[in-house]
Each structure stands twice: as structure tokens, then as C-alpha cells.
């Protein structure tokens, strides 16, 4: 406090007093509860604008596509943390989310950012045909390869030929009129990459999610956050199952009982 002026901390998210909760400038209890879906709220919170029905459908589809992918390292980490600290559900969820990086979940952000670097300054591309997109994809991949950069969104550890989510996400975006430059460039990368990198890889679901979110108007800096938001639901499912039918003890015991000591290079020198 300086003099008679109270310090203020402006926010466009929410405030509350003894009788009211305000969220995004609306009365939470009187206006939003029962009339707003969680997906719509998440989009609105991130962009400060309500999504169109088309944007919401694409956004919800992305969240569903990223919610779970089986016993990924993130799910295993969450389950083992719950086994180690059964009194800390929040710790187990956090452990799973902390594993969201360049191999799992972070690909959503990496792909969106990679594509945006090539489409940000294109202007109107409504009249572009596949040949024009293929040309841009070729130059984009060639430049990335020349700089020694990896191509995010290509390949998957399980789906070696086709990621089943990819075609569906392209179709949904197309149906909603939201197959924009990020998705079109990503689609073109799928067509031209074999001749550039020397092998054929599938466009993965996390990559198409990043392209779809970018075309749906979500901020690039938050794309990983939406992947983590989606995976939170999946982790809660894994933890609910872990409480009923745990695998954590078996995973721990299997690794621990089969651990074999080997001397390291430093000890060998000594």
C-alpha cells in the first residue's frame, strides 16, 4: 500500500467476494453453471473469447484424442507414485504430468510451433492446391534437415504405419471448416517426407492435435497445456483403476528383483 492507494492486481479470469464468484466477467453461479461445458470453459479461459461451435468440436476432439494411450511412461509414473505415496493423489497426477515432454504429449506443442514458423507469414492461402502445399512442405523439411532438426509429429512408437487418430482429426477439422494452414502443411508433410528423409513414417496423433489446435485459434504457447489437460483425465482413470486393481507393486517388484549390478567405467579404471 502506498499512501491511500491500495495496490491492485488486475485479472480478466476471476474474482470473488463474500457472496459472489465472477468468472470471465460473468456470475459463475447465476450464468455459467449448467449452461457451459468444461471444454468451452477451457477454450474461453485460454483465449478470452468463447469458441464457435466448430472450434469447440475440434477442441473437444483433440482433448479426447490425447486423454490416454495405454501404459505410457506418464501413466506408469503416476501409478508407481500412487503406490509409493497412496496418501497423495495430487502427487501421482503431478508425476504423470511432469513426464509430458518431447517424446510424449509435448509433441503437440512442438508440432504446432514447427508448422507455425512456416505458415505465419503466408497471408491468404485459401486458393492453394496440394501442389503448393507440397512445395512448402518440401522446403520446410529440407531446411529442417539441413539444420539438423528433428521433425515433430512424424512417427510413433506403437503405430508404425498409421496412427488411427490422424485421419479422423483431419476429417473433423475439414467438416467444421477449420482445416487451415497448419493442418494443410502437416498433411503435405505426410505426402512428401519419404523422399526427403528416406523412409515413410505416419503422422502421429499428437502432431495433428497441435496443428488442429493452432488452426482452431488456440495460443501456441499453451498447446502443451491442452495436451496435459487432456492427459489429466486419463491419469485420473489410471489412478482409479490402480486403486481397484493395482499393477504398481508388480512393476516395482519385477524391476527391483531383476536388477543386476554392473560395475561402471569409473570403477573399472580404479
Q: Beginning with the edge strand found earlier in the chain, give each strand of the sheet holding 21-23 in spatial order.
A: 14-16, 21-23, 26-27
**Domain 108-217: which CATH class?**
mainly alpha
H/E stretch holding 220 reads none
> Along the chain (270 residues), what's the average pLDDT of each consecutive run of 10 residues?
72 93 94 95 96 97 94 94 96 94 83 95 91 96 91 83 93 97 97 93 94 96 95 97 96 94 70
Number of neighbouring beta carbons within 10 Å of residue 47: 15
Assigned C-alpha cell, 255: 524391476
* pLDDT for res 206: 92
* pLDDT for res 106: 78
- How many Cα atoms occupy the beta-carbon half-sphere of 38 within 13 Å? 6
* pLDDT for res 6: 82
Measured CA distances, 74 to 100, 174, 207 (Å): 7, 31, 18
85: left (phi over 0), alpha (psi -120 to 50) or beta: beta
* pLDDT for res 100: 83
Amino acid at each position: 500500500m502506498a499512501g491511500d492507494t491500495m495496490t491492485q492486481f488486475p485479472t480478466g479470469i476471476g474474482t470473488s467476494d463474500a457472496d459472489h464468484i465472477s468468472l470471465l466477467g460473468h456470475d459463475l453461479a447465476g450464468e455459467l453453471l449448467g449452461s457451459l461445458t468444461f471444454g468451452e470453459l477451457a477454450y474461453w479461459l485460454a483465449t478470452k473469447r468463447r469458441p464457435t461451435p466448430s472450434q469447440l468440436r475440434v477442441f473437444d476432439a483433440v482433448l479426447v484424442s490425447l486423454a490416454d494411450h495405454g501404459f505410457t511412461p506418464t501413466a506408469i509414473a503416476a501409478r508407481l507414485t500412487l503406490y509409493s505415496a497412496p496418501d497423495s493423489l495430487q502427487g501421482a497426477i503431478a508425476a504423470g504430468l511432469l513426464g509430458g515432454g518431447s517424446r510424449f504429449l509435448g509433441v503437440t506443442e512442438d508440432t504446432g510451433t514447427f508448422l507455425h514458423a512456416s505458415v505465419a507469414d503466408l497471408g491468404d492461402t485459401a486458393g492453394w492446391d496440394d501442389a503448393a502445399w507440397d512445395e512448402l512442405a518440401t522446403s520446410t523439411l529440407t531446411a529442417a534437415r539441413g539444420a539438423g532438426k528433428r521433425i515433430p509429429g512424424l512417427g510413433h512408437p506403437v503405430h508404425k504405419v498409421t496412427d488411427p487418430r490422424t485421419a479422423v482429426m483431419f476429417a473433423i477439422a475439414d467438416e467444421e471448416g477449420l482445416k487451415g494452414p497448419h493442418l494443410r502443411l502437416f498433411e503435405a508433410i505426410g505426402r512428401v517426407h519419404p523422399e526427403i528423409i528416406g523412409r515413410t513414417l505416419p503422422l502421429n496423433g499428437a502432431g495433428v492435435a497441435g496443428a488442429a489446435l493452432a488452426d482452431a485459434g488456440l495460443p501456441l504457447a499453451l498447446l502443451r497445456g491442452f495436451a496435459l489437460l487432456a492427459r489429466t483425465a486419463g491419469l485420473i482413470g489410471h489412478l482409479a483403476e490402480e486403486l481397484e486393481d493395482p499393477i504398481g507393486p508388480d512393476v516395482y517388484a519385477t524391476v527391483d528383483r531383476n536388477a543386476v549390478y554392473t560395475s561402471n567405467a569409473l570403477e573399472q579404471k580404479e
